Structure 1
């Protein structure tokens, strides 16, 4: 049976590291050809690591419309464009709302929100003409609730959550599905410095402790979700923002309890078996 990805091209932005890099690996291993985009130098190295002929790097700014159009054109030279993972994003720095200036806001919104909008604008008509496929945008748990990131970053990710809903409606009936993924704490270059600091200070066990899985996520776990959402297996998922956060947004905030208290609580809450 033919691999569903044979002859298919997927564009991945923010591909030089973290979730984007892991996604390039996931898509190429699945059999797709990938156009990898990033403004960082490392995108060429990511393409070189992929199996020969499966990945082409195109360096550029995901928030620049000319670059997005160039990605679509490049994809057409390598096969049938079937997916676009609009993953590129920036934090804009941990700047309090009272101190962030308009330039910082505009830059974060340009990359994090306008970038995915441009991906949808240029890719959706082509994917629809090609017979269908999917566009997945990286949002964040910071776009679902406050307290998970600085103001501009959080607002931009909330915008992505709504963007995919509006876009899915606009392209309804075209066989183009548009969804967002909302990662929680993922161990990437964006979070590495703070995670390393916590571990160096002896608080490594606290990293990710506010989610139900009690750990940070890994880029390949998010890449797996991006691959699934782009595949035929997700053919009935459209206009959704799916959290991948270890259960962080499933419950109200919890204070981690000592192991003894956790064991006692588990004993008390364990249901009685009925024979």
Structure 2
């Protein structure tokens, strides 16, 4: 005799199969949460052996970004992808990391923490608007004057746009979103590329990696506000066009398209309200992994793209979204 399984029963069965890797609790630093992680150390040893790689010898792991000079925008938020990526580059042997943001509430605290964790890495805090050409030119010039090279520029500055119907958005609001999410990437590509071509005894040939933060909202409609989605979609085409502009110069341009990620931008819009309602478990439910990401999961991909391991990856957009963009969103038992 056949048994008919109701949609509700199927949903319960499916929910029982969902597994989420635990978030590794790293504690706090002077009251600020450390970068949350779900995976072990990217350099090969399990978490807990020694926090963040401090004190490990060069022979104990291969440093993926040994000696590189890195600039990252959008680094102020303790929950953000910028901060998480700065930690990944530093712990993987970067010579210098510039953490930049137009807000500086936490920048100096980030520097203090990173100096303790990675004493051999020079960490610089720079306050400027990533959509301001003078600010971008200045940080690139400082890297060249101080270290004689630039290897990685992660254009990560963003805002969530204007959550209004398209007919209610003011031109000034739209342009402000474009400036933060798209113009900032254009300026990074414009000024980082020539700097990456500067050679020296330390760096005998032109090379570099420019990484931009797009979004699944830039790959599919209805994933974000109108102005934000438009800007993030343009980021994809911008890096693809730019990689041809820098053809033959060994400079790679790629984008990352995060899905639902716990960050300073999504906390007040998604995670905070869900926490208050007691529905935090529903965040990210439309993706096949049935959860949202922590910033470090995006940072691992940025680290790869910035390393020489990605030497033949160019002009691509990497969706890091738990599978959300691989199909049409579907919630079992709630679609009909």
Fold agreement, TM-score > 0.5: yes
Q: Is the 8 A contact 1:36 1:55 kept in 2?
A: yes
Give the Å deviation of 1:49.
1.4
Partner of 2:37 in structure 1? none
Partner of 2:309 in structure 1? 233
Give the Å deviation of 1:4.
5.4
Q: Is the 8 A contact 2:148 2:198 kept in 1?
A: no
Find 2:82's aligned residue among 14, 20, 39. Answer: 20
Give the Å deviation of 1:257.
4.5
Task: Determine the C-alpha separation between the residues in 2 that align with 1:243 and 1:83.
Answer: 20
Higher helix share: 1
Give the Å deviation of 1:72.
0.4
Where do 1:123-202 residues align within 5 Å? 123-130=192-199, 131-193=206-268, 194-202=270-278
Give the Å deviation of 1:6.
3.4
Largest Rg, 1 or 2: 2
* Residue ranges of structure 2 left out of the alignment (5+ in a row): 1-58, 200-205
Task: Determine the C-alpha separation between the residues in 2 that align with 1:129 and 1:103.
Answer: 38
Matched, 1:115 2:184: yes
Task: Determine the C-alpha separation between the residues in 2 that align with 1:54 and 1:96.
Answer: 45
The secondary structure found in structure 1 opposite 2:168 is coil
Where do 1:1-275 residues align within 5 Å? 3=63, 5-17=65-77, 18-32=80-94, 33-41=96-104, 42-51=106-115, 52=119, 53-76=121-144, 77-78=146-147, 80-130=149-199, 131-193=206-268, 194-257=270-333
Task: Determine the C-alpha separation between the residues in 1 that align with 2:330 and 2:107.
Answer: 39
Q: Is the 8 A contact 2:65 2:306 kept in 1?
A: no
Task: Determine the C-alpha separation between the residues in 1 that align with 2:219 and 2:314.
Answer: 18
Give the Å deviation of 1:16.
1.1
Q: TM-score, normalised by structure 1?
A: 0.90
Give the Å deviation of 1:31.
1.0
The secondary structure found in structure 1 opposite 2:329 is coil
Q: TM-score, normalised by structure 2?
A: 0.74
Q: How many residues align?
A: 258
Q: Is the 8 A contact 2:211 2:305 kept in 1?
A: yes
Q: How well do the aligned residues superpose, as a CA RMSD in angstroms?
A: 1.6
Residues 218, 4 of structure 1: alpha-carbon distance in 2 compared, 3 angstrom cutoff: closer
* Residue ranges of structure 1 left out of the alignment (5+ in a row): 259-275
